[in-house]
Amino acid sequence: MAVERRKGLAVGVGRRDLLAGAGAALMLAGCAVNGEGGRHGGAPEAARSPLALTPIRATPDRITRITVCTRPFRAQGPRLEVERIGQKLVVHHYGHGGSGWSLSWGTGLVATEKAMALGERDVAVIGCGAIGLTTALQLQRAGAKVTIYAKDLPPDTRSSFATGVWSPDSRICLEQYATPAFKALWARMCLTSFQAYQSLLGLPGTPIEWVDNYNVADRKDHEEEEKPDNRPPFADSLRHDLLPDLTPHSAEVPAGLHPFGARLVRRNTNMVFNISSYARLLLDEFHANGGRIEVREFHTPADFAGVAQKVLVNCTGYGARALMGDTSIIPVRGQLARMIPQEDVHYGLFYNGVSFVPRRDGFVFQAVGPDDYYGYNDDSIEPDRPLAEQSVRIIAGLFPPPAFG
Ligand SMILES: Cc1cc2nc3c(=O)[nH]c(=O)nc-3n(C[C@H](O)[C@H](O)[C@H](O)COP(=O)(O)OP(=O)(O)OC[C@H]3O[C@@H](n4cnc5c(N)ncnc54)[C@H](O)[C@@H]3O)c2cc1C
């Protein structure tokens, strides 16, 4: 998703997709473009009939909640290493930026391998977000008895406030740290997670589903010149560079076949995580496997001495910054406006810097800013209601005004 304009369009378009989209846009607008062809530059989608998209009832009065959360970003990527703290062996497993849900099964497998290699079969997991829950399940599947200790449980963890789309390379590290070894690890984690998600399709409550998304652009967007940016770039093209064929290719939707008038439209297809039912499914499996949860807060690493288990997996996400004194974790703020869902709307949109995700557990509208630095180093969690309403109005602007109401 990188629910980020440059890279992910909460709807899961990569930066390269956008560039390809921009190229296609220029061609449509009659400008000369050096043809790039290749993956995304081919012929327009061979649609036979126009897209019938039910209009979204996007009005601010339908906003049910505004949530804010901080992505746990580390320039060097997630911390995945074993440390002895007093009598305990701690597998650190935190710092997944904007990719935590997406990579969780793959990164959880790596953490599980590290924990199981320590020879204990009674393991503590600290944290009950996306990372803690999936790691706990994988430890159980590997034969461990697992207890989760956490201050907050779903639906009150930061993970519960994520957009909920497949975005495995969103703010995962800075480009300069994407070494060959990191890339190999990332590709393994990404593939493992992708396959895990395919096994969660079609289940009751629709925890995971594939959804078509439309990247809609006003033609003038592509006439704007990009300003030079001297900040270190994020490694935001791992998917494109390493696993270009993992998900369906994006395609141009020709004018006349979409309901957005003269605007330029590209379709891509991405996974959506309906986090409420998905987190419930994970918790249910954890309990069914005999897992136990204890609500507990750790104030310093010395508090780890208070748990019975010798091996702990530290999945505290952004909380690790205070708990471990780890200032390598940088907050990247993001805000969602949640809205009453509509049964008949099952497509996503990206338009004018706003991402719309048709989550069944509440529609998501999100201003994604101009790049991955949007919200960077901002740990404020105060909701911004005017921004939420503006995001809703921008998406509403794609549809004719409602006849009533
Ligand atoms: C706005 C936004 C949108 C996002 N969208 C997506 C997306 O679409 N797709 C995606 O893949 N990722 C997305 N992310 C990123 C994703 O949400 C994070 O990477 C992920 O939530 C990290 O999970 P976690 O389990 O490490 O952390 P958390 O969810 O924060 O869980 C940490 C757990 O540890 C516990 N804990 C912390 N400190 C302590 C302590 N001292 N003592 C006891 N317990 C403690 C907490 O209570 C909690 O249970 C998004 C993030 C944001 C902010």
Question: What pLDDT was estimated at residue 401?
Answer: 85
Question: pLDDT tens string for the chain (405 positions)?
Answer: 343 333 333 333 333 333 333 333 323 222 222 222 334 444 454 445 789 999 999 999 999 999 999 999 999 999 999 999 999 999 999 999 999 999 999 999 999 999 999 999 999 999 999 999 999 999 999 999 999 999 999 999 999 999 999 999 999 999 999 999 999 999 999 999 999 999 999 999 999 999 999 999 997 755 566 678 899 999 999 999 999 999 999 999 999 999 999 999 999 999 999 999 999 999 999 999 999 999 999 999 999 999 999 999 999 999 999 999 999 999 999 999 999 999 999 999 999 999 999 999 999 999 999 999 999 999 999 999 999 999 999 999 999 987 776
- Last residue in a domain, options 314, 329, 344: 329
Per-residue b/e over 326-337, b at no fewer than 16 CB within 10 Å? beebbbbbbbbb
User: Is residue 288 located within the same domain as residue 371?
Assistant: no
User: Is residue 245 located within the same domain as residue 349?
Assistant: yes
User: Is residue 263 located within the same domain as residue 394?
Assistant: yes
129-159: per-residue pLDDT in tens?
999 999 999 999 999 999 999 999 999 999 9
User: Is residue 317 located within the same domain as residue 175?
Assistant: no
Residue ID of nearest Cα to ligand 1 atom 14: 98
- Last residue in a domain, options 329, 352, 370: 329
Question: What is the number of domains present in the chain?
Answer: 2
At 215, phi and psi to the nearest 5? -90, 110
Mind giving me the DSSP string for 251-288? EEE-TTSSSSTTSEEEEEEEEEE-HHHHHHHHHHHHHH
Question: What pLDDT was estimated at residue 8?
Answer: 35
Q: Which of 99, 158, 297, 377 to mutate to test the pocket of ligand 1 (most atoms within 8 A of CB)?
A: 158
User: Is residue 183 located within the same domain as residue 324?
Assistant: no
**97 with 73: CB under 8 angstroms?**
yes
Question: What pLDDT was estimated at residue 405?
Answer: 61
In angstroms, rounded to a whole number, what is the distance separating the alpha carbons of residues 285 and 300?
Answer: 30
Ligand 1 atom nearest to CA at 299: 41
> Distance, CA 280 to ligand 1 centroid (Å)?
16
In angstroms, rounded to a whole number, what is the distance separating the alpha carbons of residues 114 and 122?
Answer: 14
> Distance, CA 318 to ligand 1 centroid (Å)?
7
- Last residue in a domain, options 329, 344, 371: 329
- From the number of C-beta atoms within 10 Å of its C-beta (0-12, 13-18, 19+), residue 46 rates as exposed
Question: What pLDDT was estimated at residue 5?
Answer: 37
Tokens at 209, concatenated: 């589903």
In angstroms, rounded to a whole number, what is the distance separating the alpha carbons of residues 296 and 78?
Answer: 24
User: Is residue 187 located within the same domain as residue 254?
Assistant: yes
298-351: per-residue pLDDT in tens?
999 999 999 999 999 999 999 999 999 999 999 999 999 999 999 999 999 999
Q: Which of 3, 68, 73, 101 to mutate to test the pocket of ligand 1 (most atoms within 8 A of CB)?
A: 101
Q: For residue 264, what are the domain limits? A: 4-72+164-272+331-404
> Distance, CA 317 to ligand 1 centroid (Å)?
5
> Distance, CA 157 to ligand 1 centroid (Å)?
6
User: Is residue 323 located within the same domain as residue 352?
Assistant: no
In angstroms, rounded to a whole number, what is the distance separating the alpha carbons of residues 121 and 303?
Answer: 21
> Distance, CA 258 to ligand 1 centroid (Å)?
37
Ligand 1 atom nearest to CA at 69: 53
User: Is residue 107 located within the same domain as residue 222?
Assistant: no
Sort residue 142 into left (φ over 0), alpha (ψ -120 to 50) or beta. Answer: alpha
Question: What pLDDT was estimated at residue 227?
Answer: 76
> Distance, CA 51 to ligand 1 centroid (Å)?
36
User: Is residue 268 located within the same domain as residue 300?
Assistant: no
Mind giving me the DSSP string for 101-128? HHHHHHHHHHHHHHHHTTT-SEEEEE--
**110 with 253: CB under 8 angstroms?**
no
User: Is residue 306 located within the same domain as residue 320?
Assistant: yes
The one-character DSSP state at 234 is B
User: Is residue 255 located within the same domain as residue 357?
Assistant: yes
The CATH code of the domain that includes 319 is 3.40.50.720
Sort residue 37 into left (φ over 0), alpha (ψ -120 to 50) or beta. Answer: left
Q: Which of 166, 316, 333 to mutate to test the pocket of ligand 1 (most atoms within 8 A of CB)?
A: 316
CA triple 314-329-301, angle to 5 deg: 40
User: Is residue 122 located within the same domain as residue 263?
Assistant: no
Instruction: Name every residue whose Cβ is closer than 8 Å to that of residue 387 and which is 6 or more positions away in sequence.
Output: 335, 367
In angstroms, rounded to a whole number, what is the distance separating the alpha carbons of residues 405 and 90?
Answer: 56
Spell out which residues line ligand 1, taking CB within 6 angstroms: 1, 3, 69-72, 94, 96-102, 126-132, 150-152, 157-159, 162-165, 167, 297-298, 315-319, 323, 334, 336
Strands 79-85, 122-126: pairing kind: unpaired
Ligand 1 atom nearest to CA at 157: 29
Q: What is the pTM of this model?
A: 0.90
